[in-house]
Amino acid sequence: MDMRKVLFCLLWCVGCLVFLNKACADTVKLKMIVANPSDSESRTLPVKTYLPKGIKPEDVVDKGDFVIKYDFEKSLYYAYQEVTLNPQKTVTLQLSINDIWTITEADINGLKSHIQEMLQALQKTEYAARSQTLGGGILERLQNIIKAQNQPGLSIEQRISNYQINSNLLKQGKKDIGVLEDMMIDSGGMGQGNVGVLMAEENPLTIDPLADAGKFDTLKFKVEISNPSDEAKNMTLKYYLPIEATPEFIVDKGGLEAAYDYQTGVYYLSKNAINLSAHQKQEFVVEIKDLWVIPENKIQLVRARTQRLMQVLAGSDYKDSAAFLGHKIIVVLDGILAVQNDKEMSVENHIGEYRLNLQKFDEAAKDLAKLEKLTVQSGSPLLLHKIQGPQGIQSRRIEGLEGARGVEIIGKSIFRGKVPELSTTWKIIWIIIGFLAVLSFLFFILWWTQIKTSEGKKYKNVQGDHTQPPADHL
């Protein structure tokens, strides 16, 4: 076997040693140890390490000589650089990243304060009992989050694991806070405070690539294959596309063939029998519609709706809430546009930022739904019946009666808190089925008894007619 191949494999295995340690209260250091075991040859080793899930380029405080890129197959950012090492040399590389795995006590205390204010305001309303039960469950979850985060001696791996659990608890808590806020709006108690940022609403706007494909520019993907060996080789190329890309959006396959991977659910491009000489590289350029852009007309539509609703609510008791939400929405939309207009961004990072922007756009749309609710609650005559957006797009009409709001809120709050166990659920189902079976049996008995009674009366009447003498003999 070629000695260079052996050395390269050894270098790669040693270079994959990665560990995390706490750097300070606000940052974490990601460290990599890279070594060259050769006694005589210097080597250039590519070093690639994936950043923890949730880390974005702006969270990297100190990247050293690393370049931050995005892997759209794994939906993760990674750091990459090439290191040249002399024989028997070792180097430690590191990245400093923000500690994003902590839910701050200030945020939790802010939520607690918000909940307590709402519970106090709802004490004299029809939602008093339900709100107390719901609010108590949320406060208990928040307290459990603080307790879990304050455990001493946790490793970074344990802290990240706890953070995932706590994030799920917080997500459920936010949904429940949304129900409390619905109660507040329905009872008319949200006039002067801000409406919060947590209500769980459906996104009224969706991104449809098929509908907007004609408006998109194109992106050029550079697909490279190389032969690292000292001998000529006949090689096969297989390049997976981002999950959003399907064949109808491919403008130019660059001489490659498109196929579908049924195991991963992703399309890929491939080519067989590529003849490459020793250390040769070959590049294929693939052109695809830029699906990784939120259409500007949809962004401007949300902006137009937001500004219109802020005007409608400016003279109402909800003006403070409307101003708070409206400003938040417009800041998010401006940030999305700024990122999308960055023409210097790499294709990979462009896709990564798009996926983050989708989440931000969804949140903006949810906040817009809150504004629409406030407009309905305010009793304004201008209820978005025909708010004209840019490029001829109209907003959806708000419909529904305020009387239905209470039913909706009660439905949302009935099973908040602990979810019934599976066995309990089946017991309830069997009890209902049994009750219906008994009820059906009783109805059957009642029906049968009535039939028998009716038939008996008819029989007696017939018998009576036969025993009477004919009228001629009387």
What are the DSSP calls for 355-387, one per residue? HHHHHHHHHHHHHHHHHHHHHHHHT-S--STT-
209-289 sits in which CATH class?
mainly beta
HSE at residue 55, side-chain half, CA atoms within 13 A, is: 28
Percentage, residues of the chain above pLDDT 70: 74
Measured CA to CA, the distance from residue 129 to residue 416 in angstroms comes to 13
Which residue(s) pair with 292 in the sheet?
none
Judge contact between 125 and 183, C-beta under 8 A.
yes
Which two tokens mark 424?
């309990």
Q: 211: burial class by Cβ within 10 Å (0-12, 13-18, 19+)?
A: exposed
pLDDT > 80? residue 185: no
Which two tokens mark 120?
């106090």
Measured CA to CA, the distance from residue 63 to residue 77 in angstroms comes to 13
Which two tokens mark 267?
């399309």
Measured CA to CA, the distance from residue 217 to residue 444 in angstroms comes to 70
Give the model confidence (pLDDT) of 196-251 as tens digits.
433 334 444 556 555 555 567 889 999 999 998 888 999 999 999 998 888 888 99
Widest pairwise Cα distance in the chain: 142
Average pLDDT over residues 174-186: 81
Percentage, residues of the chain above pLDDT 90: 17
What pTM, to 2 d.p., does this model score? 0.53
Q: Which amino acid is at 54?
A: G
Please tell me the predicted confidence (pLDDT) of residue 178: 82
Measured CA to CA, the distance from residue 147 to residue 150 in angstroms comes to 5
pLDDT > 70? residue 386: no
Sign of CA pseudo-dihedral 444, 450, 454, 456 = positive
pLDDT > 60? residue 114: yes
Average pLDDT over residues 344-356: 89
CATH of 3-98 among 3.30.70, 3.40.50, 1.10.10, 2.60.40: 2.60.40
Measured CA to CA, the distance from residue 236 to residue 257 in angstroms comes to 12
Q: How far is CA 452 from the centre of its chain?
A: 64
- Tallying the residues shown for the chain, one arrives at 474
Measured CA to CA, the distance from residue 414 to residue 119 in angstroms comes to 17
Q: Give ∠ CA 341-294-241 in degrees, rounded to 5.
A: 95
Q: Which residue has the higher pLDDT, 424 or 51?
A: 51
Whether the domain at 3-98 and the domain at 209-289 fall into the same CATH topology: yes
Q: Where are the domains of the chain?
A: 3-98, 209-289
Give the model confidence (pLDDT) of 68-85 as tens digits.
988 877 788 899 999 898
Least confident of 166-170, 361-365, 438-442, 468-472: 468-472
Q: How much is the mean pLDDT over the chain?
A: 77
pLDDT > 50? residue 419: no
Measured CA to CA, the distance from residue 453 to residue 195 in angstroms comes to 66
Q: Compute, in degrees rounded to 10, the torsion defined by CA atoms 364, 365, 371, 376.
A: -170
pLDDT > 70? residue 262: no
Tell me the H-state helices in 44-201.
105-121, 128-149, 156-187
Which two tokens mark 149?
């985060």
Judge contact between 53 and 167, C-beta under 8 A.
no
Which two tokens mark 400?
């529904």
Give the model confidence (pLDDT) of 126-155 as tens digits.
888 888 999 999 999 999 898 888 888 777
Judge contact between 345 and 178, C-beta under 8 A.
no
Judge contact between 222 and 283, C-beta under 8 A.
yes
Least confident of 81-90, 108-117, 180-189, 379-388: 379-388
Judge contact between 31 and 79, C-beta under 8 A.
no
Judge contact between 196 and 114, C-beta under 8 A.
yes
Q: Phi, psi (5° rounding) for residue 320? A: -65, -45
Least confident of 109-123, 138-152, 153-167, 279-293: 153-167
Measured CA to CA, the distance from residue 49 to residue 31 in angstroms comes to 10
Query: Alpha-carbon Rg of the chain, whole angstroms?
Result: 34
Q: How far is CA 412 from the centre of its chain?
A: 20
DSSP letter, residue 394: B
CB atoms within 10 A of CB 461: 9
Q: Phi, psi (5° rounding) for residue 20? A: -110, 140
Which two tokens mark 98?
């923000």
Judge contact between 227 and 249, C-beta under 8 A.
no
Token match 């060259």: residue? 36
Sheet with 233-240: strands ordered across: 233-240, 266-276, 257-261
3-state secondary structure of 389: coil
